[in-house]
């Protein structure tokens, strides 16, 4: 290597070294909601690998979907003096006091995958989807499928009080408004889990003439839809054929169901929100670069036209 090239490479490394060096030393606390869905499990797996890639020490807490456990975990991270905190807030309210404590300790907080109400001064940024848009995409797909046909919908909502559940419902309702032929017959929470999604769908089927009144299911996540598909098959119904399905996340099993003709559409959500969060935290800590208040992740619709088994294979290795 000649002297000129050597100097160029050395200069480039010197420019990168401080940020990389700082990332090596960073310790981040992650208050994770739980493992209620395949998507959430993937988010945890990806967060661990993204931290490892950057030499970041991750302190992980699984709150078993209970806000009080998340609040306790955040307090522990503050006591430990971590450099930053990632928070996936199970519900949108009740965070002011504990986030004030993190702010007083000068520990930046980044929200992952769900939002909180107000308190924008208490977190550095939010890496989340536009969940109203996710609901719009799902509703607009159903409007296109329905045409002028009467379609009665049953809705499996996410966790009560979660920002994404409120917003996915709002977005879907916005999309079908003005289309009198599409009506939501029943809407109930399945808490984002397969088991609860199956249980609630069984009750919808019983209440709606053995499911014969139901023309479509909208689930706020694929896991509840996978449970609902099982309930429909157990009742002798044909999900994906007699009853259209649309849900959110893009987990591998929904692509397998689409390929099998048992589901119709999903709105993809990346499980990698921690990568962008770690990078903006590293820049913020190294030179005070303030990130935008919202890092919005993409929402892409997938149907049987998008080679579902190829999509299934592509995601299987991602920690779902
Ligand atoms: C969405 C995320 C949701 C997923 C579910 O950003 O909060 O939580 O859609 C998960 O699978 O339970």
Query: How many A from CA of 40 to the centre of ligand 1?
Result: 6
Name every residue whose Cβ is closer than 8 Å to that of residue 318 and which is 6 or more positions away in sequence.
42, 45, 46, 271
3-state secondary structure of 114: coil
Query: Do 19 and 148 share a domain, yes or no?
Result: no
CA of 192, closest atom in ligand 1: 12
Give the helix/strand (H/E) hosting 61.
strand 57-62
Residue 318 lies in a domain: no
CA distances from 3 to 8, 10, 13, 15, 17 (A): 9, 10, 15, 18, 20
**Which residue ranges have their beta carbon within 6 Å of ligand 1?**
36-37, 39-40, 113-114, 129, 164, 192, 221, 223, 248-249, 269
Query: Do 142 and 255 share a domain, yes or no?
Result: yes
Name every residue whose Cβ is closer than 8 Å to that of residue 57 and which is 6 or more positions away in sequence.
26, 27, 28, 51
Query: Do 135 and 261 share a domain, yes or no?
Result: yes
Residue 113 lies in a domain: yes
Query: Do 248 and 153 share a domain, yes or no?
Result: yes
Residues of the chain where predicted confidence (pLDDT) is lower than 50:
1, 9, 12-22
Query: How many A from CA of 69 to the centre of ligand 1?
Result: 18
Judge whether 91 and 159 are in contact, CB under 8 Å: yes
**Residue where one domain finishes, among candidates 269, 285, 312:** 269
Which protein residue has the closest C-alpha to ligand 1 atom 9? 221
CB atoms within 10 A of CB 174: 15
CA of 36, closest atom in ligand 1: 12
Residue 307 lies in a domain: no
Query: Which residues face 239 on adjacent strands?
Result: 243
CA 237 – CA 280 distance, rounded (Å) = 48
Query: Do 166 and 228 share a domain, yes or no?
Result: yes
Burial of 49 (0-12, 13-18, 19+ CB in 10 A): middle
92-140 pLDDT tens trace: 999 999 999 999 999 999 999 999 999 999 999 999 999 999 999 999 9
Using CA atoms of 160, 164, 168, 174 in order, give the dihedral in degrees to the nearest 10: 100
Question: Which of 32, 33, 35, 40 is the pocket-test mutation for ligand 1 (most atoms within 8 Å of CB)?
Answer: 40
Residue 71 lies in a domain: yes
Query: How many A from CA of 33 to the centre of ligand 1?
Result: 10
Query: Do 140 and 260 share a domain, yes or no?
Result: yes
CA of 162, closest atom in ligand 1: 7
Judge whether 129 and 164 are in contact, CB under 8 Å: yes
Query: Do 219 and 274 share a domain, yes or no?
Result: no
Query: Do 113 and 242 share a domain, yes or no?
Result: no
CA 265 – CA 222 distance, rounded (Å) = 10
In this structure, what DSSP letter does residue 123 have? -
Radius of gyration of the chain, Cα coordinates, nearest whole angstrom:
22
Query: Do 98 and 205 share a domain, yes or no?
Result: no
Name every residue whose Cβ is closer than 8 Å to that of residue 231 and which is 6 or more positions away in sequence.
197, 198, 199, 201, 202, 205
pLDDT of residue 316: 87
Which protein residue has the closest C-alpha to ligand 1 atom 1? 113
Structurally, the chain folds into a number of domains equal to 2
Residue 312 lies in a domain: no
Residue 45 lies in a domain: yes
Do the bridges between strand 265-268 and strand 301-303 make them parallel or antiparallel, or are there none, so unpaired?
Answer: antiparallel
Query: Do 260 and 275 share a domain, yes or no?
Result: no
> What count of residues does the chain have?
320
pLDDT of residue 304: 98
Residue 122 lies in a domain: yes
- Show the domain range for 260: 131-269
Query: How many A from CA of 114 to the centre of ligand 1?
Result: 8
Query: Do 229 and 241 share a domain, yes or no?
Result: yes
CB atoms within 10 A of CB 304: 15
pLDDT of residue 16: 45
CA of 220, closest atom in ligand 1: 9
Name every residue whose Cβ is closer than 8 Å to that of residue 118 and which is 6 or more positions away in sequence.
none
pTM of the model: 0.92
Task: Give the CATH number of the domain where residue 74 resides.
Answer: 3.40.50.2300
CA distances from 199 to 40, 191, 224, 276 (A): 21, 11, 10, 36
Query: How many A from CA of 290 to the centre of ligand 1?
Result: 27
Residue 308 lies in a domain: no
**Residue where one domain finishes, among candidates 269, 286, 309:** 269
pLDDT of residue 4: 54
Query: Do 256 and 136 share a domain, yes or no?
Result: yes
Give the helix/strand (H/E) hosting 296.
strand 294-297
């Amino acid at each position: 290597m000649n002297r000129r090239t050597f100097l160029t490479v050395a200069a480039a490394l010197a420019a990168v070294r401080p940020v990389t060096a700082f990332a090596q030393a960073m310790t981040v606390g992650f208050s994770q909601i739980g493992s209620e869905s395949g998507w959430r499990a993937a988010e945890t797996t990806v967060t661990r690998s993204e931290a490892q890639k950057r030499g970041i020490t991750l302190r992980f807490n699984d709150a078993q979907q209970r806000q009080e456990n998340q609040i306790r975990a955040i307090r522990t991270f503050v006591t430990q003096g971590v450099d930053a905190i990632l928070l996936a807030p199970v519900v949108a309210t009740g965070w002011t006091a504990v986030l004030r404590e993190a702010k007083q300790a000068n520990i930046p907080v980044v929200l992952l995958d769900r939002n909180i109400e107000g308190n924008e001064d208490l977190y550095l940024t939010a890496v989340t989807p536009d969940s109203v848009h996710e609901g719009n995409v799902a509703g607009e797909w159903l409007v296109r499928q329905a045409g002028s046909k009467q379609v009665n919908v049953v809705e499996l909502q996410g966790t009560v009080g979660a920002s994404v559940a409120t917003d996915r419902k709002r977005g879907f309702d916005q999309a079908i408004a003005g289309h009198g032929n599409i009506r939501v017959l029943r809407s109930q929470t399945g808490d984002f889990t397969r088991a609860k999604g199956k249980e609630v769908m069984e009750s919808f089927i019983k209440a709606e003439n053995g499911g014969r009144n139901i023309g479509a299911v909208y689930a706020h996540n694929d896991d509840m839809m996978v449970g609902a598909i099982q309930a429909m098959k157990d009742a002798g119904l044909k999900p994906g054929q007699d009853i259209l399905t649309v849900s959110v996340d893009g987990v591998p099993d929904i692509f397998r169901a689409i390929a099998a003709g048992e589901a119709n559409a999903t709105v993809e959500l990346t499980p990698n929100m921690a990568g962008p969060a770690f990078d903006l935290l590293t820049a913020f800590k190294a030179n005070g670069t303030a990130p935008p208040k919202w890092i919005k992740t993409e929402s892409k619709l997938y149907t049987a036209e998008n080679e579902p088994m190829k999509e299934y294979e592509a995601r299987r290795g991602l920690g779902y």
